[in-house]
Homo-oligomer: A and B are copies of this chain.
Amino acid sequence: MPETIPPPFLEERRQAILGRIQMTGRVAVAELSAMFGVSEVTIRADLQALAEQNLLVRTHGGAVPAVNGINEMALFLRRERQVIEKSRIGTTAAGFVADGDALYLDSSSTSLAIAHHLRPRRHVTVVTNSLEVTRVLYDAAGVELVMLGGALQRTTASLVGGYGLANLEAFNLEKGFFGAHGISLEAGLTDVSTDEAAVKRPLAARCRQVFAVLDATKWGRIGVASFAALSQITTVITDTAAPAHLVAAVKALEIDVILV
């Protein structure tokens, strides 16, 4: 199946090798040799050069992705990727973002999915405390990115603690997207981490429109820390498996509920 169209430049070829190894999880020397129409020796030189940069790990007949301890962060992020791109909730939420908007993305996996969809956008300002969101948008030229400061919470790759919130008033945020551990009539939006909640609480208060993005399993659950009352929410984006009676109760409060 390998195509035989040869990208002649060395850089291109190596880039393509990296792409393929990420995609398929492994590459073979013979396969690449046929694919690019160069000798196996050349491919070996490529693999060696890439291995020296820790971009992959050599094996006998080929190479596998770099699974190095040095780069825990990248690993952590990569693992999520498949999930991210599949998220329908994220896709829908991204549809609410207009060019020119200033918005907040929290450190949930749905925010990450939204971030992926924002990469091709122009003139969007994103405020976040998530390192993953930052990484996804790092090379998105049309996105201005502002990180809230704070102490690194390694389990969520986010920055927490009030350090970054001092002059939140400097930002006028149109829309905020919040994942949550639970949504309930009693406690509103809740999180399991008090630190995370402490960041989200003032942000939820500050965003003109508050979007709650959560899958069906979150309905009726309550985490230890509330960060927004239902009355603060503008729109809930969830999936069709959400419990009908809870959805109805929320709609009764004049909150938009979008089922995808």
Contact = CB atoms under 8 A, between A and B. Distances in A.
Instruction: Enumerate the 10 nearest inter-chain pairs by beta-carbon distance, A residue then B residue, closest first.
Output: A149-B149, A166-B166, A72-B139, A149-B164, A9-B59, A145-B152, A73-B138, A11-B59, A148-B149, A166-B167
Chain A facing B: main interface SS: mixed
Contacts of A245: none
A162 B15 CA distance: 38
A167 B168 CA distance: 12
B141 A151 contact: no
A179 B145 CA distance: 24
A122 to B, nearest CB: 15
Given A9-B26, A78-B53, A134-B131, A146 B145 contact: no
Contacts of A2: none
Interface in A7-34: 7-12, 15, 18-19, 26, 28
A197 to B, nearest CB: 18
A202 to B, nearest CB: 13
Oligomer: number of copies: 2
Contacts of A61: 8-9
A60 B15 contact: no
Contacts of A147: 147, 149-150, 152, 159
Nearest to A15: B69
A9 B148 CA distance: 41
A73 B148 CA distance: 19
A172 interface: no
B59 A10 contact: yes
A20 to B, nearest CB: 13
Contacts of A74: 71, 74, 135
A192 interface: no
A58 to B, nearest CB: 8
A19 B25 CA distance: 15
A9 B57 CA distance: 11
B166 A67 contact: no
Interface string A128-159: 00010011001101001111111110100101
A150 B53 CA distance: 30
A251 interface: no
